Amino acid sequence: MKLNNILLFLSFVLITINQISITQAVQCVDYNNPNYYRFINPLMNNRAYCYIKPTNASEISDAILYAQSINRGVSIRSGGHSATQFSMLNKTVNIDLSSLKGIEIDVEAQTVVVQAGVQVIELYNATTKLLLATTAGSCPTVGMGVVLGGGSNYFGGKYGYMADNILEFTVVLEDGSIVKANPKNKYSDLYWALAGSGGGGFGVVVDYKIKVYPIPQYFYKNTIRFDIVNLDKALALLDSYVRSATEQTRENIYVNMYSQLTLKSANMTPSASITFFYNGPLEEGDFEFRKLLADFLCPPSNPTCTPLGRVTTMDIQTLKKTFWEVISSMSYDNNPLRQFTKGRFVKKLSKNDVPNAINDFYKYAVTNIINSTSLIKPETLLNINQAIFYHGGKQNQDRTGSIDSPFNSFLHRGDEAMWSYTIVAQYNNTENDPLFSGLRKLVNSKLSSIGDKLNNNYPDDEFEDWQTGLYVTKSNYKKLQEIKGKYDPNNYFNYPQSIELPKK
Ligand SMILES: *[C@@H]1O[C@H](CO)[C@@H](O)[C@H](O)[C@H]1NC(C)=O
Ligand SMILES: *[C@@H]1O[C@H](CO)[C@@H](O)[C@H](O)[C@H]1NC(C)=O
Ligand SMILES: *[C@@H]1O[C@H](CO)[C@@H](O)[C@H](O)[C@H]1NC(C)=O
Ligand SMILES: *[C@@H]1O[C@H](CO)[C@@H](O)[C@H](O)[C@H]1NC(C)=O
Ligand SMILES: *[C@@H]1O[C@H](CO)[C@@H](O)[C@H](O)[C@H]1NC(C)=O
């Protein structure tokens, strides 16, 4: 151990849990070790006071009580994907859940108990071998904490959000007690709040019991590539394809749009594409994809027209993929990159404001960053990615029939939340901060034209009315505040944009 890795404390006496006195040891380690920060955004400079890596619920409980004994708050890191660094807060005791890697599958009951440090790719690795899966996040390395804010991907249309598939949470509360919250026990209010409100303001979730579904061996997946100048037409076609689809089809499909500017060793490659995935028989997938594709191609009657989009193949045998192939082929870079991320739920892609804003951000990025003479090189890694994600099917159905009595606290439902938009701007050269802060300013000033409903899994630390942005209705937020008051009366789990205590 390096000299500057001071062991801040060794052990302390803990007297709780059924009046039994026990001595526990949890290590809170100071880290000047730069490797510890490799997972996060170096643009943010947050440094916790020390960190603890618990291996089970009782060690989480010890960690909380230890932090309280030295008068410090905690911050909680599951996958550590928060570009706003909400998972690593200054001066706190950081509870790093990455050692909690348990995955217990009950094949017969079709349930899995997943611990909080498991990443999406690890969950799918374990379940897809048994041809079981459920909705989770779409980024392979995101941690299970994503469930708290919804959790959406290829399966969302058919199974709803990941938060909709939670059967039970194990949670460590502010007093160190370990409880199980499900819809039927005395913690049903806590269950309701945890499923969808994000952030971890009620306690530390240790594990999630989730429902899994049998999946077929192969899925249909295809990609339409198009020129970014046709973005507005492509978005309008995507929107009208989904809106004219039957509810049944909306549950089976998944679509997204990516437009990406990547600079690698001074070569800029712009790309724009639509990905289509079908959760059902391959031939049905092929049939549906052709409907979407038709509008991107020229009519046979017009041999001189230039098609709007192109595909590499239509051969089903080439296209068919196991779910594991789909998920593990997604590129992800775990290098720490300076970055900002913004996200909004979107109603209609065809509304002019949406493509206009995306185009403005794109043009600004090309002119004022990529092609700018002030871009300081070497900037060998630079990505500006704008994406549209699909949230249709079961995800946006209000399954209780009333927005006033939803079955969990995730209220981005209905037509208002058919899509979401995200921009991820990443680079690694400190000297280019000014160029990127210019883009960030533009995005902040125009993002409201895309939407004003926030996605808890893409936190926006610069959004003022985050209470309404995140929780949609005043009554939903008020109910969350009451539950907060019951389970965390001293607001111990206090982070940027965490649920506030109710007004006295
Ligand atoms: C945390 O502390 C660092 C270093 O002092 C500072 O740069 C950063 O802004 C602080 N973060 C927050 C969220 O206040
Ligand atoms: C938690 O983990 C620690 C360290 O491995 C172990 O000593 C302790 O018995 C565990 N506690 C429980 C309740 O499993
Ligand atoms: C998937 O699981 C196997 C063990 O069953 C393991 O060897 C492999 O490394 C895992 N792959 C990933 C990407 O997690
Ligand atoms: C940016 O530079 C590339 C390559 O040098 C060029 O093809 C492109 O037209 C430029 N774009 C703008 C908007 O200046
Ligand atoms: C940016 O990343 C590249 C590739 O990892 C690396 O070679 C380069 O030194 C990095 N630049 C800075 C300023 O960190």
53-71: pLDDT as tens digits = 999 999 999 999 999 999 9
Go through 459-477 and write b for each residue having 16 or more CB atoms within 10 A of its CB, e for each that does not.
bbeebeebbbbbbbeeebb
Are 309 and 199 within one domain? Answer: no
Q: Which atom of ligand 2 is nearest the CA belonging to 55?
A: 2
Are 317 and 257 within one domain? Answer: yes
- Asked, for residue 499, whether it belongs to a domain, the answer is no
Q: Give the residue from 42, 72, 96 where a domain finishes.
A: 96
Does the pLDDT value for residue 23 go beyond 60?
no
Q: 393 or 200, which is more confident? A: 393
Does the pLDDT value for residue 14 go beyond 70?
no
Instruction: Determine the angle formed by the axes of helices 353-365 and 433-446, rounding to 10 degrees.
Output: 170
Are 333 and 435 within one domain? Answer: yes
Q: Rounded to whole angstroms, how far apart are CA atoms 44 and 90?
A: 11
46 lines ligand 1 (CB under 6 A): yes
Does the pLDDT value for residue 239 go beyond 50?
yes
Are 89 and 123 within one domain? Answer: no
69 lines ligand 4 (CB under 6 A): no
User: Residue 154 maps to which CATH number?
Assistant: 3.30.465.10
Confidence band of 4 (pLDDT split at 50, 70, 90) = very low
User: Residue 418 maps to which CATH number?
Assistant: 3.40.462.20
- Asked, for residue 283, whether it belongs to a domain, the answer is yes
Does the pLDDT value for residue 401 go beyond 90?
no
Query: What was the pLDDT predicted at 162?
Result: 96
- 3-state SS class at 427: strand
- Asked, for residue 493, whether it belongs to a domain, the answer is no
58 lines ligand 2 (CB under 6 A): yes
Residues 6+ apart with CB under 8 A from 389: 138, 152, 256, 419, 420, 421, 422
Q: Give the residue from 41, 65, 96 where a domain finishes.
A: 96
Are 227 and 148 within one domain? Answer: no
Are 131 and 261 within one domain? Answer: no
User: Residue 48 maps to which CATH number?
Assistant: 3.30.43.10
Q: 347 or 37, which is more confident? A: 347
Q: How many domains does the chain have?
A: 3
45 lines ligand 1 (CB under 6 A): yes
- Asked, for residue 492, whether it belongs to a domain, the answer is no
245-257: pLDDT as tens digits = 999 999 999 999 9
170 lines ligand 2 (CB under 6 A): no
141 lines ligand 3 (CB under 6 A): no
174-228: pLDDT as tens digits = 999 999 999 999 999 999 999 999 887 999 999 999 999 999 999 999 999 999 8
Are 177 and 246 within one domain? Answer: no
Parent domain of 146: 103-215+472-487
Mean pLDDT lowest for which of 7-16, 164-173, 223-232? 7-16
Q: Give the residue from 75, 96, 117 where a domain finishes.
A: 96
- Asked, for residue 271, whether it belongs to a domain, the answer is yes
Q: How much distance in Å is there from the Cα of 416 to the middle of ligand 1?
A: 35
Q: Which atom of ligand 5 is nearest the CA belonging to 378?
A: 11
197 lines ligand 1 (CB under 6 A): no
Q: Which atom of ligand 2 is nearest the CA belonging to 56?
A: 1
356 lines ligand 3 (CB under 6 A): no
324 lines ligand 3 (CB under 6 A): no
Q: Which atom of ligand 4 is nearest the CA belonging to 363?
A: 13
Are 92 and 109 within one domain? Answer: no
- Within 10 angstroms of residue 61's Cβ, the number of other Cβ atoms is 24
Nearest CA to ligand 3 atom 14: 122
Ligand 5 pocket test, pick from 43, 428, 432, 435 with the greatest ligand atom count within 8 Å of Cβ, gives: 428
Mean pLDDT over all residues of the chain? 89
The maximal CA–CA distance of the chain, rounded, in angstroms, is 84
pTM for the predicted model, two decimal places: 0.91
**Any idea which ligand is nearest the CA of 122?**
3
Are 349 and 233 within one domain? Answer: yes
Confidence band of 45 (pLDDT split at 50, 70, 90) = confident
Query: What was the pLDDT predicted at 29?
Result: 85
Q: Rounded to whole angstroms, how far apart are CA atoms 503 and 481?
A: 9
Are 158 and 287 within one domain? Answer: no
Ligand 1 pocket test, pick from 46, 88, 92, 497 with the greatest ligand atom count within 8 Å of Cβ, gives: 46
CB 187 within 8 A of CB 179: yes
Are 359 and 410 within one domain? Answer: yes
125 lines ligand 3 (CB under 6 A): yes
Are 250 and 289 within one domain? Answer: yes
Q: Rounded to whole angstroms, how far apart are CA atoms 354 and 166?
A: 33
